[in-house]
């Protein structure tokens, strides 16, 4: 946890900031021009698909005739776009689907409310939604996308789409899980890809454990380097001078791959620098960490709606209940009845309660656009302790290492408002608001409780939006 907020670099002078401001203004103009060009391209490609349909009308073998017409038109346009006709044919189909089936999204894009990345996410997720529900999905999706990065909304839109699907996520997951498998795909130069198709929460846990083990090896390597250089270090007793890790230059990806191979072939990493000494423990003792938010109704079996695997995707209710039953510690979250923002975290095993609350509240790095999970972030004092900032949840937020450094060593500034809302100001004065993301399984109610009416200022509580199926259960039960 860093407490030093001293500025030490990033932008050298006010003149540099003025130059950056002009670059930002130019970038805005370029982005707007690119958006209009992208929209025009989509409409041209969609019109090409309609033309192919028209050319095939009345043909005896209509399916084959349409395919041939589409191939001919795609080949013509491929010369203009300098691409293959196969690529153009796929893009024509995607463009026609977008124009004909997502009119609300197209209107929002043309109005500048969303960007191309948002459109891709809406179209990708929208295929899960029944046709009769798609207009409502588009409306909610566009509202979610406005002012937010595309990578941040994908998870939320998936959850909305799952709630609107006519079949429960649990039922579909059971069918999909029957296809789990492991396969090898041969590659060049004596390499192959080992591919395992697994439930998402299992795959995420495997990667997390491999990452933690790889970091232990890399940390031990750094300690060994310091010891061999004659630096006084605890590494002397842990790994010692002359360790085989001194010349180890593997990247974290390479270490992860090696540990993965060792675990499958031998049951334990072949090289374990933490087997003795005062490290965090042997690699075999490291366990995977995943962060899941699941509603109380789902835990009680009264709702089969998906749970939220933070930073990844929905998971089925049965898996969430199994995880809740097997875990040694879990937190009860009290959420705002309307906005869903985490207000309080009641730990049933109250160790490091403040860290657990902030992880539950933030879910990921709180720098604009970043989705690094909170379990891999660092806690930062919004107001540095050296400047009188308190070590309290109202003055702490999770930042990944990269953006923690940006805050402390550039002219980016941040202030924290009640409810965990962060307001970032860039070196050129642009302001970005970062709200604490509510768990996607939070329930809403139709009207705020009456007892708040006398205290709440006008407009303090925005009207709730229905994010699920019309028959989705409602209530004020806090998510667990």
| Residue 200 belongs to a domain | yes
pLDDT at residue 412, as a whole number: 92
pLDDT at residue 230, as a whole number: 59
Domain that holds residue 79: 30-167
- Same domain as 117, residue 136: yes
- Same domain as 432, residue 370: yes
| Residue 476 belongs to a domain | no
| Residue 477 belongs to a domain | no
- Same domain as 447, residue 317: yes
| Residue 463 belongs to a domain | no
Cβ atoms within 10 Å of 147's Cβ, excluding its own: 11
- Same domain as 278, residue 250: yes
CA distances from 457 to 125, 452, 453 (A): 37, 9, 8
- Same domain as 380, residue 301: yes
pLDDT at residue 23, as a whole number: 94
| Residue 9 belongs to a domain | no
| Residue 22 belongs to a domain | no
Average pLDDT, the chain: 77
pLDDT at residue 105, as a whole number: 97
Query: Distance from CA of residue 15 to its chain's centroid?
Result: 36
What tens-digit pLDDT sequence spans the chain (480 residues)? 544 444 445 555 777 888 999 999 999 999 999 999 999 999 999 999 999 888 877 666 666 777 888 888 999 998 899 989 899 999 999 999 999 999 999 999 999 999 999 999 999 999 989 999 999 999 999 999 998 889 888 888 988 898 888 888 888 888 888 999 999 898 888 888 999 999 888 888 888 889 888 888 888 877 766 666 655 444 444 444 444 454 678 899 999 999 898 888 766 655 555 444 434 445 555 655 666 777 777 777 777 777 776 656 677 777 777 666 655 555 656 666 666 666 665 543 334 677 888 888 888 999 998 888 888 888 898 988 778 777 778 888 999 999 999 998 888 999 999 888 999 999 888 899 988 887 766 444 444 444 444 444 443 333 333 333 333 333 333 333
User: Which residues lie below 8 Å from residue 393, measured CB to CB, with a gap of 6+?
Assistant: 354, 357, 358, 361, 420
- Same domain as 297, residue 279: no
In the numeric block, the tokens 């409780």 are attached to: 449
- Same domain as 296, residue 280: no
Question: How big is the chain by its Cα radius of gyration, in Å?
Answer: 26
> Tens digit of pLDDT for each residue in 201-259?
888 888 888 988 888 888 887 776 666 665 544 444 444 444 445 467 889 999 999 98
- Same domain as 262, residue 198: yes
| Residue 401 belongs to a domain | yes
pLDDT at residue 157, as a whole number: 92
- Same domain as 132, residue 208: no
Q: How many domains does the chain divide into?
A: 3
In the numeric block, the tokens 């595309």 are attached to: 150
- Same domain as 296, residue 443: yes
| Residue 180 belongs to a domain | no
- Same domain as 307, residue 269: no
- Same domain as 301, residue 234: no
Threshold 0.85, pTM exceeds: no
pLDDT at residue 217, as a whole number: 85
**Domain boundary pick from 285, 301, 322:** 285
Write the secondary structure of the chain as one string of H (helix), E (strand) and C (coil): CECCCCCCCCCCCHHHHHHHHHHHHHHHHHHHHHHHHHHHHHHHHHHHHHHHHHHHCCCCCHHHHHHHHHHHHHHHHHHHHCCCHHHHHHHHHHHHHHHHHCHHHHHHHHCCCCCHHHHHHHHHHHCCCCHHHHHHHHHHHHHHHCCCCHHHHHHHHHHHHHHHCCCCHHHHHHHHHCCCEEEEEECCCCCEEEEEECCHHHHHHHHHHHHHHHHHHHHHHHHHHHHHCCCCCCHHHHCCCCCCCCCCCCCHHHHHHHHHHHHHHHCCCCCCCCCCCCCCCCHHHCCCCCCEECEHHHHCCCCCCCEEECCCCEECHHHHHHHHHHCCCCEEEEECCCCCCEEEEEECCCCCHHHHHHHHHHCECCCCCCCCEHHHCEEEECCCHHHCCCCCHHHEEEECHHHHHHHHHCCCEEEEEHHHEEEEECCCCCEEEECCCCCCCCCCCCCCCHHHCCCCCCCCCCCCCCCCCCCCCCCCCCEC
């Amino acid at each position: 946890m860093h407490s030093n907020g001293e500025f030490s670099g990033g932008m050298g002078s006010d003149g540099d900031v003025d130059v950056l401001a002009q670059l930002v203004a130019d970038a805005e103009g370029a982005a707007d021009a690119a958006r209009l060009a992208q929209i025009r391209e989509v409409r041209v490609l969609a019109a090409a698909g309609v033309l192919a349909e028209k050319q095939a009308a009345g043909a005896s073998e209509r399916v084959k005739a349409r395919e041939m017409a589409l191939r001919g038109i795609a080949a013509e346009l491929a010369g203009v776009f300098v691409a293959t006709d196969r690529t153009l044919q796929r893009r024509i189909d995607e463009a026609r689907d977008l124009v004909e089936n997502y009119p609300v999204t197209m209107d929002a894009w043309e109005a500048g409310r969303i960007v191309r990345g948002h459109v891709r996410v809406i179209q990708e997720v929208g295929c899960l939604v029944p046709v009769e529900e798609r207009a409502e999905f588009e409306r909610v999706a566009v509202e979610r996308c406005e002012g937010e990065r595309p990578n941040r909304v994908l998870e939320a839109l998936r959850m909305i789409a799952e709630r609107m699907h006519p079949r429960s996520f649990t039922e579909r997951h059971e069918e999909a899980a029957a296809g789990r498998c492991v396969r090898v795909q041969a590659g060049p130069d004596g390499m192959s890809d080992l591919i395992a198709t697994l439930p998402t929460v299992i795959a995420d846990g495997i990667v997390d454990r491999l990452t933690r083990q790889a970091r232990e090896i890399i940390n031990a390597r750094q300690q060994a380097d310091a010891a061999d250089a004659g630096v006084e270090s605890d590494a002397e007793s842990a790994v010692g001078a002359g360790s085989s890790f001194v010349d180890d230059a593997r990247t974290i990806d390479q270490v992860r791959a090696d540990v993965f191979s060792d675990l499958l072939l031998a049951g334990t990493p072949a090289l374990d620098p933490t087997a003795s000494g005062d490290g965090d423990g042997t690699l075999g003792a490291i366990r995977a960490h995943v962060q899941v938010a699941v509603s109380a109704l789902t835990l009680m079996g009264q709702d089969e709606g998906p749970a939220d695997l933070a930073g990844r995707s929905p998971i089925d209710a049965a898996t969430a209940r199994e995880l809740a039953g097997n875990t040694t510690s879990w937190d009860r979250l009290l959420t705002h009845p309307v906005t869903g923002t985490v207000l309080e975290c009641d730990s049933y095993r109250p160790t490091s309660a403040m860290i657990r609350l902030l992880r539950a509240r933030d879910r990921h790095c709180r720098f604009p656009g970043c989705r690094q999970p909170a379990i891999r972030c660092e806690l930062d004092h919004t107001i540095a302790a050296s400047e009188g900032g308190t070590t309290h949840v109202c003055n702490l937020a999770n930042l990944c290492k990269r953006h923690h450094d940006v805050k402390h060593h550039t002219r980016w500034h941040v202030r924290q408002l009640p409810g965990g809302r962060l307001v970032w100001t860039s070196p050129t004065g642009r302001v970005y608001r970062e709200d604490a993301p509510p768990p996607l399984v939070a329930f809403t109610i139709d009207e705020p409780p009456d007892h708040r009416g006398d205290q709440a200022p006008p407009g303090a509580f925005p009207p709730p939006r229905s994010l699920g199926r019309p028959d989705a259960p409602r209530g004020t039960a806090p998510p667990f």
